[in-house]
Amino acid sequence: MWTLPEPMLATPVADPALPEGWAAEPKWDGWRALLSWDARRLVLRSRKGTDLEPFFPELRSGTAQLPNATALDGELVVWDAAGRLAFERLQGRLQRRGEGAIRLAEQWPAHFVAFDLLRISGTDATRWTYRRRRAALEALFVDHRLTAPWALCPSTTDPATVHDWLTSWTAVGLEGVVYKRVDGAYEPSVRGWRKYKVRETEEAIVGAHTGSPAAPRTLLLGRYGTAGRLHYIGRSTTLPQASSRDLAPLLTPAPAGHPWTGWTFSAGWGTRETLHVTLVRPQLVVEVGVDVARDSAGRWRHPARWHRPRPDLTPTDVPRFAGGATG
């Protein structure tokens, strides 16, 4: 019996240039998922192997459009009313089954953006070249007139189109691009693709940290709103040991009345684990590398990469918080 393979993976690259002999696809801000529709049985699996089928009833409703014995690789995404990717609308899905899942599907329906073909009408396509898989995937959408919840991921071999994606599409939540060798097969668990993520450096204010005062591990970062309130906007990646040692003397214990007193901070998306943090005086400005992924409140959804401290700046030099909340 045919089973879904492990997903093929991508290696991060620093250069956005499209290599000769490669194709590019947009990198979506959603959940990677592999899908199989076989003998009226839907399998929807996350990259880590989690069974997602009970949480996305809108996909089961759309399987009537698919030919039997077909499998796809793609991304589960939700678009908000403004046409921007809304990753946070996926967050509550793993806690809702049955009627709860149906209600969420009606409020914020997910789409499966297909970017690779693994099987078609019973034929394993993983050994085909990308060029052949892509042509068959496009034919699948045309021949079967696939509509929502199915969407076809764009693909290009034109460098100008890649540049347009990286400069224009980031406004709607595009994370970057994925590169695939046009004559390459689909290799499960192999990092044979490449990915370039749109990143930028920004300043933020340190409001707290994990780890000990002598060796801070990660930084909890904030920005002031227009009404003078310090908003939490994200957490840094783990600090290098040398940076941790250099940073420790710059962090001052928090005074009474710290704006985050009594707050609980999550250890990450999709987990109920909380962080043990030490509050500090919100005076040190740091520079971090961030990508374009944001939640509905404007916070950074991915950990910010540590870059350097900016003791030459004051909190008033940091841009104001421009998220969904006010204050």
CB-CB contact of 208 with 279 (8 Å): yes
Each domain of the chain, given as residue ranges in start order, spans 29-154, 199-317
Give 74's strand partners: 33, 114
Distance from C-alpha of 52 to C-alpha of 169, rounded to nearest angstrom: 28
Q: What pLDDT is attached to residue 285?
A: 94
Residues ≥6 apart with Cβ < 8 Å to 44: 33, 34, 35, 51, 52, 53, 56, 59
Domains 29-154 and 199-317 share a fold: no
- Which CATH code, of 1.10.3720.10, 3.90.1150.10, 3.30.470.30, 3.90.1310.10, is assigned to 29-154? 3.30.470.30
Q: Measured over all CA atoms, what is the biggest interatomic distance in the chain, rounded to whole angstroms?
A: 66
Q: What pLDDT is attached to residue 325?
A: 45
Distance from C-alpha of 133 to C-alpha of 150, rounded to nearest angstrom: 17
14-27 residues labelled b (16+ CB within 10 A) or e (exposed)? eebebeeebbbbbb
Q: What pLDDT is attached to residue 327?
A: 45
**Ranges assigned E (strand) in 2-90:** 9-12, 22-27, 31-38, 41-46, 70-77
The closest alpha carbon to 148, from 68, 65, 26, belongs to: 65
Q: What pLDDT is attached to residue 2?
A: 84
- Please identify every stretch of the chain with a pLDDT value under 70, giving residue numbers as ranges: 91-92, 95, 268-272, 324-327
Query: Is 199-317 assigned to CATH 3.40.140.10?
Result: no
How many alpha carbons fall within 13 Å on the CB side of residue 103?
A: 7
Q: What pLDDT is attached to residue 162?
A: 97
Residues ≥6 apart with Cβ < 8 Å to 295: 87, 88, 301
Taking the CA atoms of the chain, what radius of gyration do you get in angstroms?
22
Distance from C-alpha of 78 to C-alpha of 236, rounded to nearest angstrom: 26
DSSP class of residue 153 equals P
Question: Among all residues, which ones are annotated catalytic?
Answer: 27
